A = this chain, B = another copy of it.
Amino acid sequence: MYICSMYSSELIKGTLKTIVLNLLKDNQKMYGYEISQKVKSMTDDKIQITEGALYPTLHALEKQGDVITEKVYIGKRVRKYYTLTDQGKVTRTERVNEFSDFMKTMKFLLDLDIATPNV
């Protein structure tokens, strides 16, 4: 699987955990490959998560207690399902809010906003 994003890779940096956490909130239980395909289809191939980025991210989320895993065998092939913990739900909200706020700041900084009237 050879993957590359249409965006300068730098932009994606720092948003991967947020994306994963948010998908897990909406879909309750997902496995790695499913997450990568979901992001790809939802963004019209604009964001394509590499495996080298995704799996370490998932492992990190598990290590820090934001997700728990469950192995399921489909025939002889294993799938590792990820589910948000209560802590993960909190982290998700924090991350999404932070990103949302960051976008507002950047919009202003890059003149992408129409001036809002004061008072």
Contact = CB atoms under 8 A, between A and B. Distances in A.
Interface in A90-107: 95-96, 98-103, 105-107
Contacts of A84: none
Most chain B CB within 10 A, of A15, A43, A111, A112, is at: A15
- Interface size class, chain A: 20 to 34
B22 A110 contact: yes
Copies of this subunit: 2
5 contacts: A11-B99, A11-B102, A19-B106, A22-B110, A26-B111
Interface of A: 7-15, 18-19, 22, 26, 39, 42-43, 46-47, 95-96, 98-103, 105-112
